Amino acid sequence: MLRQAILGLAAMVAATAAGPVMAQEPIRIGEINSYSGMAAFTVPYRQGWTLALEEVNAAGGVLGRKLEVVARDDGGKPEDAVRLAAELVANEKVAVLAGTFFSHIGLAVSDYARQHKVLFLGSEPLTDALTWSKGHRYAFRLRPSTYMQAAMLAEEAAKLPARRWATVAPNYEYGQSAVAAFKQLLLAKRPDVEFVSEQWPAQGKIDAGATAQAVALSRPDAIFNVTFGPDLGRFVREGNTRGLFRNRAVVSLLTGEPEYLDPLKDETPEGWIVTGYPWESIDTPEHKTFRDAYRARFNDYPRLGSVVGYGMIKSIAAAIAKAGSTDTEKLVDAMRGLTIPSPFGPMEYRAIDHQSTLGAYVGRTTVRDGKGIMVEWRYADGAKYLPDDATVRKLRPQE
């Protein structure tokens, strides 16, 4: 009897000791991204989520537990991203999946999340399919989509006298989605325009000379450009050399982001209409707080990726706090209609399609002190560039 009592007491002590230890285990977030392939974006992105993570944990974490990010590099391959997602869920016991850069990779991880009923917050992939045609209960998106940014640019393009348009876009989901949205939206505003050339270089492998020549031969009044990263640099350089942009309007997705403007330096074209992030001249209180904290932490200025990474962690932390749990179904319900502050102002994850209302800045490019910057910019609130609920119901499978 005495031995049984001692064993029982030992078991009670062990259980009591284990309880607080278990409660203090961190909440893990599984983050997947193309770190080795898109360092210009993903390094600032990692720094952004690191800053947010430190802020959340310094304030006591969420539900009395710290957040922890378990990051993985997908190498730009969707099959690797799906494998990593499975490992993060099964082995690392993550509560949420997040991240991805390329649209086709985001869709692959989203499909995994759908099949396995895991919350996935796509931080960067822009394809409209993520929240519309292939949208589902478990997938959300942080950044403004191709449709949203195309709508912002089509609004400006419609004011131009240009009638003949050429497009240049990488030949994969993101580029195809962006061109389709821009054409649809511009034609709705200007039925008189026509698209006289479509160039579809392979992502990361653009033959800039041949592309520029093909565009020039079609004699467009204006160009819609969707290339980014090294492809953008090659296209700009070749276009400048050939005079492709002289006396010709260019409307360009993402080009105003410092990730892509910085490498162009004094080769930055003059007067392109772009979406981007003029970090140095945004003086709203929320942005100044973010910018100052980022510079103090990393001795560097923020890029658009920094804002996205920061918003990713803040969104997940807010969802967990609202749900009061890490249960997937409760987290999904918490994400629907979730409103949080951001460096750009308040943003909401719409319940109808799980798209956030984070906006983008629209302006023109110029060179100042040997560096490309955005001028004449305005903030375009994402909520104003999304279709209404009735339209979304036609675009998105019913749950």
257-311: pLDDT as tens digits: 999 999 999 999 999 999 999 999 999 999 999 999 999 999 999 999 999 999 9
What tens-digit pLDDT sequence spans the chain (399 residues)? 334 433 343 443 333 334 443 358 999 999 999 999 888 889 999 999 999 999 999 999 999 999 999 999 999 999 999 999 999 999 999 999 999 999 999 999 999 999 999 999 999 999 999 999 999 999 999 999 999 999 999 999 999 999 999 999 999 999 999 999 999 999 999 999 999 999 999 999 999 999 999 999 999 999 999 999 999 999 999 999 999 999 999 999 999 999 999 999 999 999 999 999 999 999 999 999 999 999 999 999 999 999 999 999 999 999 999 999 999 999 999 999 999 999 999 999 999 999 999 999 999 999 999 999 999 999 999 999 999 999 999 999 876
Q: Are 361 and 378 in contact (CB under 8 A)?
A: yes
73-95 burial: b if 16+ Cβ within 10 Å, else e? bbebbbebbbebbeebbeeeebb
- Fold classified for 147-278+361-385: Rossmann fold (3.40.50)
161-176 burial: b if 16+ Cβ within 10 Å, else e? ebeebbbbbbebbbbb
Classify strands 96-99 and 120-122 as parallel, antiparallel or unpaired: parallel
Q: Crossing angle for the helix pair 285-298 and 39-58, nearest 10 degrees?
A: 100
Sheet strands (E) in the chain: 27-33, 67-73, 96-99, 120-122, 139-141, 164-168, 194-199, 222-225, 249-256, 273-276, 339-340, 347-348, 360-368, 371-380
Whole-angstrom distance, CA of residue 278 vs CA of residue 258:
8
Q: Are 102 and 172 in contact (CB under 8 A)?
A: yes
- pTM higher than 0.75: yes
Element (H, E) at 58: helix 39-58
Q: Three-state SS for 348?
A: strand
Q: Crossing angle for the helix pair 103-116 and 173-189, nearest 10 degrees?
A: 100
Whole-angstrom distance, CA of residue 154 vs CA of residue 166:
14
Within 10 A of 16 (CB to CB), how many other CB atoms are there? 9
Q: Please report, in angstroms and rounded to a whole number, the separation of the first and last CA atoms in the chain.
A: 59
Backbone angles phi, psi at 326, to 5 degrees: -105, 10
Bridge partners, 273 (sequence order)? 251, 364
Q: Are 124 and 45 in contact (CB under 8 A)?
A: yes
Within 10 A of 230 (CB to CB), how many other CB atoms are there? 15
Q: Are 94 and 88 in contact (CB under 8 A)?
A: yes
Q: Distance from CA of residue 52 to its chain's centroid?
A: 16
Domain boundaries, the chain: 22-144+283-359, 147-278+361-385
CA atoms within 13 A on the CB side of 370: 0
Query: Are 22-144+283-359 and 147-278+361-385 equal in CATH topology?
Result: yes
Alpha-carbon dihedral sign for residues 132, 134, 135, 139: negative
Q: What is the pLDDT of residue 40?
A: 85
Alpha-carbon dihedral sign for residues 339, 68, 49, 228: negative
- Give tens-digit pLDDT for 226-247: 999 999 999 999 999 999 999 9
Choose which CATH entry (3.40.190.100, 3.40.50.2300, 3.90.1150.10, 3.40.640.10) describes domain 22-144+283-359.
3.40.50.2300
